[in-house]
Structure 1
């Protein structure tokens, strides 16, 4: 059955049963139906994939389950199933006190371990919430598959309050005959409480500023502007050459890589090289409720002379926004044949698989930017560049500081390096190891709790004092040398200019004020 035939049949069934197809369907719901037909979803049965296991160790799962247990206690006599899913629609947990509803949900596989994304089961509350990254209520016969018409589902996406990354959804499902007036409000409350609890337990991280769909225009360098970044490593230059080749041939390009790795900076450098007279307009992803205004605000720029457009983090766009963006690119950008456009556009994402399907076919090139830990030769040139930007003059680094910077693994990539250097150069023009933040001296291979981070910082601060021995640091901290050595190993602490042993040279019960010198 073709996509159009499947969609027509779905609408015919809805009209025959008095469903929403008999009246005007909401745009988001209509778009979801079209995607469901395109995915080849069955009209009369659900057949999701079963994974056999779920990740119950994440912070999202821990916090979400605690919130849902509390909500369930207040809804003990109500026929409502409370669920968590991951960002891909995999059902992680299900809490419900009514056995008849549980048995019914089992018949449609709405249970832990089954995937319930839009791609697998068509239009559902949780599938639509994840696809559009917005709260969604799908009632009874608004589901694409008729096997789900006996249920009403409300779902709300949950994002990590520190990174903004989509981590999953909270889904409330009940019988179709039940009132749905409070269902979405309850789901929104549960999702909000989950995010708040994640932040409270989020190991001291601060929430990211909410995106409002900002649009930035980067103009040509003027006399007196900072010089461009330095010549970097071969890995960076190879990625830059690929982007420049795409621009030279008027091909749209997608640049992928870890957060903070410098994807937009790479595109800006390529545009400066290949199209020095162009304005470069960079659009960031909007809040889902702002998407229509976001598109209307900057999309007219695509047709202007000497204007290049970069759309950042397209993997964070709601599905319908990505589809509309693809239509705009194809309409305004010129011919779609051979992926050529009159004025090439560019996007960024974390990885190729996360670029929305509606957009992926538009790109003639996908270029990856390596993580900073894979190109450590770039650390010192970039550190000097960021220091000059922050201080307005050349900044020097001692050998101890240089060693610390090039020995660190930089999980936050170039963005983290920039913040570290800005902090360091606010203290001195000649940066020494003591001017660097404590995080640079830690090689811990796991995310630290807030208390662990405080303890690590105290230890690094003591050990960084000139001439301080491990025994003296232990005495100041009020712990034994053996304990201090264990903490040094646990946190992967390094101090510039000193080689630290990770095993205590004395018995575990050696007092902290021992006079032995290291």
Structure 2
């Protein structure tokens, strides 16, 4: 006991010295704690006044909480005699759940905001048994003066990361906190055991989705002699017919389109042209587990190129299958599939040029509506090129036509008389962007214009763009949808990676001082692997950023923003994004040598590897 008290006194003295000088000069402080103090200090955490940040947008009923309930209950029973609290956080150190049977410890923790909704990241409150666990990626036992913040000095905490057994990604932290006087090294062992139990529950939970997909695949395969494929997450399966009928590049194209059907609106049935020129029908079944779509099973049938079969006549399987539980399946060889469908740089002449099925289909639908002067609604995610595509295609298909463009927020100049004033001989297209942003006044103006246009007899037509995220809402814009005769969906960039090379070349040719293709093969690979959550607008920003770093010559991978190198399956915080960019820069400076990169960043190689995996950094 005396030895423990002496050690804590030495650590307290070392902490006071560190706060004054920024240095730790004693072996009494564990290396991992000293490193955490330094990170906390560098992040600007004030050891006496810092406050945890509150968030009200947490998923407190999701998969992690669901899989933790039994483990937390068991842990609470095992430690029922101790005045402690059990805390569960997400991967950003935000507290999802706190459980205790002693009201006294609960009141004390409320006093330091260790409560649901608050963020206990290291850059927010300094060294602690949650944020430091996430930073180090390992279980930790933080006692008394090892905490960076003064208000946390009375407490001891043992925390353990919770990893998804399949992806190895840290999903959250399980933490036990009590007053230092009740601290016991046993806490460290118990919290690790409980975290492991949660990880096993995550594995079982994930297997339910995989097993449901497998069972659906087996049922569909038993009913048909056609090619059957199942796609979900990182998993794909195919029967013997699928393997024998389609080459790897064709399989990849089917997988990609099946993923699109799985997440898009409407029935999961379609006809597509494969890279080889062959045509197939896809008839799909979405497999649902609880509220989540686990995957899709598709029956793939070859058709003759000239035999147009209306999709309304194509048999569609049941829209969804409810789930069972079971085992996992093998991973998709996605890299091999993508390699079979390489991205090849070409010389586009217009924005509307593209090679993907979804882009060609959108272009055909829009062009048809423009030629017929049908009121057109263009649907898609923000930044996917809806307005630019409509304007480009109108210029192509209507000789001598003109366009007038309006944003939904600024319809002051769009009056009912506008249609009547249009010249009889000049085809005019009015493009109104983002009508989902119309307020009640804007809807009234637009409705009046559309009504006047319908009865004017003038060669004037209208196209409006809308975000697909708002289609199911009750926003005011829905009052004008009855004026439109045709709707076309523009797919997001992540579902048409074949178009990225064409699009990159087009965007660069349109930038100041750029005369031709200026992207290296390696940089194009990086661009093609990224998901582009903000679509073409984000791609344009990335190229502008790269051009600032390399005004002439070919853009190289190191010129691209750090997020382009990230395959992380989660939204990174501002701090995480900054850290990711520093790592990418250091990797390039070290020519990909990870040992040198870790030394340059002043972190352990194990920490670097963990961050590379967490941020999805795959290229240097």
**TM-score under structure 2 normalisation?**
0.41
Q: Which has the larger radius of gyration?
A: 2
Structure with greater proportional strand content: 2
